[in-house]
Structure 1
Amino acid sequence: MNELKIRNVFPDDLDCITRIEADCFPAAEAASKDSFKERISVFPQGFFVGELNNKIIGFINGGVTNENHIKDKFFKTMDLHISDGNNIVIFGLDVHPDYQKKGYAKKLMNHFIRSAKKDGRKKILLTCKEHLIEFYEQFGYINEGVSQSQHGGAKWYDMYLKLK
């Protein structure tokens, strides 16, 4: 496995991350280019890309809140972002299909967890589909069951990782 370089997102990464998102999620669930542009401008500190040989192959991004569950509106706009909030949410963890199942998603998640701890967050929140629950549990995430989220018309599960 080549060494994955993880860094904060740059505005110039917008087109690449938008393409990766479209490859990883159905259109109804994928974040739009405008959503990514807003996330990058509002909270680049919570947006990390993974590169192999100077090529972005994946990313993880989020926002901050005092809520204990992710509201669907948060997937569309950063209006709910509170920079000094207690909890950080993960909007998405994407690895291009050509690079999946090689440990890169784990590296991105571990980087995100370390960053959240360093920033003094209390919890990391996420929603995922049922087949990914076990993946997140390996990091210590707790499954709270079926989410109220209606995002993209899919069935989601609320999970959290307690940091403090």
Structure 2
Amino acid sequence: MSEVIVRSVRPEDLDRVTEIEAACFPPAEAASKQSFIARIAAFPESFLVAEINGTLIGFINGCATNNSVIYDEMFHSTQHHVPDARNLSVFGLNVMPEYRKQGIAAQLMRHFIQAARETGRQSVILTCKDRLVYYYESFGYVNNGISKSTHGGAQWFDMTLIL
């Protein structure tokens, strides 16, 4: 496999990021192109992409917040981003299906956690489905139970990684 490069998102990545999101999440859960336009503008420092040979194959993104959990409104508006907040959230960790099970998501997560440390965050927070709790626990996240989030009509679990 060619080398995976992890870097900050750029405005010209918009269409591919939107395409990856649509491939990775059901329509009710997937962020829109308009959401990505706003996220790229508001928090490019916490929006990382993975590429191989110049092709984007995955990404991780989320805003900074002083909240200890993710709530649904955060997915829909960048007004909830607080640049100097104590926590960094994960809205999505996406890898195109044909590139899965190669450690790319783990590389993205490790870079994201490192970025959180380097910017003085106290924790990284995320929500995930039951089947992914174990995966995130492998990074040191703690399962805090069923989330109040009902984003996309799904059941989510609150996870926290203390840095």
Q: 1-side partners of 2:122 and 2:8: how far apart? A: 21
Q: Distance in 2 between the 1:140 and 1:112 partners?
A: 13
- Which amino acid is 2:142 matched to? I
Q: Give the total of aligned pairs.
A: 163
SS at structure 1 position matched to 2:91? strand
TM-align CA RMSD: 0.5
Whole-angstrom CA distance in 1 between matches of 2:7 and 2:123: 22
Unaligned runs of 5+ in 1: none
Structure 2 residue aligned with 1:8: 8
* SS in structure 1 at match of 2:134: helix
Structure 2 gaps of 5+ residues are none
User: Partners of 1:67 and 1:133 in 2: how far apart?
Assistant: 20
1:125 equivalenced with 2:125 (yes/no): yes
Question: With structure 2 as the length reference, what TM-score do the two structures score?
Answer: 0.99
Asked if residue 28 in structure 1 is aligned to residue 28 in structure 2, the reply is yes
CA distance in 2, matches of 1:99, 1:43: 26
Q: Which residue of 2 aligns with 1:63?
A: 63
For residue 3 of structure 1, report the CA deviation from its aligned partner.
Answer: 1.5
Give runs of aligned pairs for residues 70-81 of structure 1, distance below 5 A.
Answer: 70-81=70-81
In 1, the alpha carbon distance for the partners of 2:88 and 2:125 equals 6
Q: Structure 1 segments of 4 or more deviating over 6 A?
A: none
Q: Percent of pairs identical after alignment?
A: 52
TM-score by length of structure 1 reads 0.98
Deviation (angstroms), 1:71? 1.1
Q: What is the correspondence of 1:1-164 to structure 2 with a 5 Å cutoff?
A: 1-163=1-163
